């Protein structure tokens, strides 16, 4: 990747990829999130950034009306993994905009496949910013909604059609993953993460220590034994008093400003491979506050970097 490093700063184009994923949730409303963002022009100002930002054609279900939700999620994730892998191979920075969180299976399987193309043993790190753990399997999930399972699938747990989307499971090792912002979970998924030894930074720890310190520690963990890492942001990690337009609101979340600030620093590190922002529900958004949050998070990727 060194050929893309200019004067200590990593130069790459941010490429937004909308994913109309809705079959992972009980309510498919989030599948319209990326189309609403684009139609309303919420990220248009980013396209004026010098060589900084462009949209790819969106990913949506090829055969609408399919009612097998597992097949629908698998189809979208498989094509998303291919697109993310191709964008990374071309030296771009994929910005995946969901859709429900089931699309993460595709995003990060694609990133892992890209890393594996350089060296099969290359490991992927992942920061999972979310009010929930998303670590169910069909065996533990009360709802059986797949957007509650993507982290487990990436860790190689549960349904085989979800764990090996773009290459053999697991895509992610427990030591290379951290969750941030968790404040709503069920016993089965908590037990799975505990048994695997995945570090969870619950919301109360973040409030006590502050996001900058916790984020830096989590980032160091997921970078320790990996060649690159990603960040998956479920918008429900944010406080619904500020950002109501999310799939599953939970009170007492992160503030938009603090998450924007840590991303402004993180994007300047070439080890950050991609960012994913999911679970935007435009029908619950009040005055497009949550759309503005997505804008601000995306804008942070285009902030100038100080020389490193």
Q: Does the active-site annotation cover 101?
A: yes
Name the packing angle between helices 104-118 and 69-89 (round to 10°).
40
- Of 176 and 276, nearer to Mn ion (C-beta) is 276
**Cα torsion 161, 167, 170, 176: sign:** negative
Residue 199: enclosing H or E segment and its boundaries? strand 199-202
Smallest separation (angstroms) from Mn ion to the CB of 125: 18
Instruction: State the number of binding residues for Mn ion (CB under 5 A).
Output: 4
239-243 long-range contacts (CB < 8 A, ≥24 apart) are 242/289, 242/293, 243/289, 243/290, 243/293
Smallest separation (angstroms) from Mn ion to the CB of 134: 4
Smallest separation (angstroms) from Mn ion to the CB of 279: 6
Question: Measured between alpha carbons, how far is 39 from 2 in angstroms, rounded to an integer?
Answer: 37
Residue from the set 79, 83, 101, 123 that interacts with Mn ion by CB under 5 A: 101
Smallest separation (angstroms) from Mn ion to the CB of 128: 8
Within residues 196-235, the interface with Mn ion by CB under 5 A covers: 234
Q: Does the active-site annotation cover 147?
A: yes
- Cβ-contact 264, 303 below 8 angstroms: yes
Choosing from 159, 176, 276, 279, which is the catalytic residue?
A: 279
Residue from the set 23, 55, 108, 134 that interacts with Mn ion by CB under 5 A: 134
Q: Does the active-site annotation cover 118?
A: no
Within residues 62-81, the interface with Mn ion by CB under 5 A covers: none
- Of 92 and 157, nearer to Mn ion (C-beta) is 157
Please state the separation of Cα 269 from the chain's center in Å.
Answer: 17
Question: Measured between alpha carbons, how far is 156 from 165 in angstroms, rounded to an integer?
Answer: 11
- Of 75 and 232, nearer to Mn ion (C-beta) is 232
Q: Does the active-site annotation cover 134?
A: yes
The closest alpha carbon to 73, from 148, 156, 172, belongs to: 148
Catalytic residues: 101, 130, 132, 134, 147, 234, 236, 279
Would you tell me which residues interact with Mn ion (CB under 5 A)? 101, 130, 134, 234
């Amino acid at each position: 990747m060194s050929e893309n490093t200019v004067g200590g700063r990593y130069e790459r184009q941010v490429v937004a990829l909308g994913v109309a994923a809705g079959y992972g949730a009980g309510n498919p409303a989030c599948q319209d999130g990326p189309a609403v963002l684009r139609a309303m022009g919420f990220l248009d100002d980013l396209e004026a950034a010098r060589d900084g930002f462009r949209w790819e054609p969106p990913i949506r279900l090829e055969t609408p009306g399919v009612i097998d939700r597992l097949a629908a999620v698998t189809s979208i994730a498989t094509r998303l993994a291919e697109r993310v892998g191709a964008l990374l191979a071309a030296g771009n920075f994929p910005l995946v905009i969901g859709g429900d969180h089931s699309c993460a299976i595709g995003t990060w399987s694609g990133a892992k496949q890209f890393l594996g193309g350089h060296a099969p043993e290359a490991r992927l790190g992942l920061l999972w910013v979310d009010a929930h753990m998303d670590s169910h399997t069909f065996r533990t999930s009360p709802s059986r909604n797949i957007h509650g399972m993507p982290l487990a699938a990436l860790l190689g747990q549960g349904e085989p059609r979800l764990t090996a989307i773009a290459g053999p499971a697991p895509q992610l090792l427990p030591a290379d993953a951290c969750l941030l912002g968790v404040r709503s979970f069920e016993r089965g998924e908590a037990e799975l993460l505990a048994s695997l030894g995945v570090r969870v930074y619950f919301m109360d720890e973040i409030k006590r220590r502050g996001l900058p310190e916790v984020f830096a520690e989590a980032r160091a963990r997921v970078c320790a034994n990996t060649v690159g890492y990603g960040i998956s942001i479920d918008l429900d990690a944010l406080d619904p008093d500020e950002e109501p337009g999310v799939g599953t609101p939970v009170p007492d979340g992160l503030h938009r400003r603090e998450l924007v600030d840590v991303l402004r620093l993180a994007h300047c590190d070439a080890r950050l491979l991609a960012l994913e922002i999911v679970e935007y529900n435009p029908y619950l958004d009040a005055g497009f506050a949550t759309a503005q949050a997505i804008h601000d998070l995306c804008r942070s990727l285009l902030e100038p970097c100080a020389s490193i």
